[in-house]
Structure 1
Amino acid sequence: MSLANSCALLLLFFLTLSLFITCSTAATTIGVTHTTVAVAADNVPLPKKVTTFLPSDISPPTEKYWSSRLPNTPLPKALRYLLQPGHYHSINREFANENVSAAVILRAYRIRYRISYKRDDKKSLNSALPDSTIFYQYDDLHPGKKMKVLFTESGTKVSFLPRQVAESIPFSSDKVPEILKYFKLEVNSKEAQVIREEIGGCEEPNMEGEEKYCATSLESLIDFSVERLGQNVRVLSTEAGEKQEYTVSAAVRMIGDHKAAVCHKMRYPYAVHYCHVIADTEVDEVPLVGADGTKVKAVTVCHLNTSAWSPDHIAFQVLKIKPGPAVCHFLDSDTLVWVPKKDKKMTP
């Protein structure tokens, strides 16, 4: 064998050996990495907050539908948060948590006026909200008036589901077992009880002069209000503010009279709003200055005729009056109020 052939064979041998060693090392490294990742994944606890239940081909709602239906109405901050990807989870199994039990009771009384006063409810309110202005009468607000106010909210950090997904999920009392199964909730859990209560409130009979609807998507929320008040509307919410003593700093400004739609954010696994249009309703904007100098533009609703309310409603207990006279209250910071603009003719 010639020297050239011997060198060629020797070179081929070393190339083959080098390739074998490189492949073996890579395989070993890949195996170790794979094992390490698998062990780490097993140790990661399942999140209580589920980011999304959405099919990959369905996108979350955006401002596009709002702009198409309400081109001259800015999207309020209270709704903008519910559309920001990643700001809130789409689905949340911790929606039943509340730090202040009285806030839950107060929201129920503000939303549903047929509800009757319970002795334990007033005890809870008095202990959690001492010396707070809960309800007030029509003539109580004037410059210089002082009051302690707590701007409560639903406490539910969830976002909207796409309409197609929301409408595929049952929402009725007779479907509660299916709803609990969908969200993997125990039948006797606190979350299950909250779901029953919230759906039950949606199914209560309407009061005289009231239309109500529970909107399970951004699109249905917009449709309900536009169909009743038109497209030429203002949509407002109360700015957040700490519980403290506030002083009415200027004259109260009426921004809507006779008819308004109020949409309260509900405690639910995803964004649902309890909306109702109530006749003989006045909406006012109240400029407040807190003891610490904080300025808040609070939105308040006055129900001018309370004769259809339950005589045992806590508002009458607090104000020491009987059904009939006007009763007012501030709106929660994540509640929306829709009022027709006065300067232009409404469009359906």
Structure 2
Amino acid sequence: MNFRRSNPLRGLLAVLLILLATISQAASGPRVVLVTGERNAAQDETVGAIRSALVPELNATDIGLVEAQDFDGGGHAEARIIVTVGTQAAKAVGARRPAQPVLNTLLTREFYEAQPAPLPGQARSAIFLDQPPRRQLALLNAALPDQGTVALLVGPNSEEVARQFVASAPEHKLKVNVAQVTQEREIFQALEKLLRERSVLFALPDAAVFNTYTIQNILLTSYRHRTPLIGFSPAYVRAGALLALYSTPAQIGRQAAAIVRSVLAGMALPPPQAPREFEVAANPVVARSLGIELDAPERIAERVRERENLKEPKP
């Protein structure tokens, strides 16, 4: 008799336990927080790729999305990792200095290294947009095997990248000519001297040299010298570069998801790294104008990947 009377109480207790578990789960917040800044197609593609890669293992509620201006480190205390998408988000999260590991994406090495250092004990890493110089030189070998000289226009923010080009050149049987500039007004005089020798000009991710104000004149000068330019984004190819090797937002998103998965599994945040996946874009009109025969971009990219399988590039 007493057992039967206790059944409604047991049922009520079970409902309360379920409610408490639900409230506790909601209060705990997402395990992964994605912070976005400038909302654009590239950022949306990155966020979509991260979510798609993680959702099979995580519930949708485990992945939070916050805009940079709304990010409050204290409001996401339960998160296991924070992923920033874009420079604005990296800057906003860096200013808050959260305790959780932070993975920055869709930013250059130059921007990342210019940010304030994290607090002692805080883990921070990045997946850069920049491609490794060794991979860029492999692109030149794969696409233009008859070219033996690389030209670099180096600014104050690309000296280390230039050193990596010089160090990697011998294994690709290439020579590197460097022209150093410290101010924008020095660019075109330096470029004229640099391009006297037959070569291929690489655009470096240095905003002091290659930016929206200088790129058209750099392209025109290189074209006048019959020098192909290799850029670092599809926009450069559309503007008149012969080739570009770059990683798509979706590719970087998948790489970020793999790092998030490892952190959730208890592993440490890895060091900053270059993109793993990449694509090649080509401008056939520029190729014809310069008298250059190019293979299909997909075939060029495949040859670069084959070279990387023989020797893994360093970031």
TM-score (norm 2): 0.24
Structure with greater Cα Rg: 1
Q: Which has the higher contact order (CA 8 A, sep 6+)?
A: 1
TM-score (norm 1): 0.22
Structure number with the higher helix fraction is 2
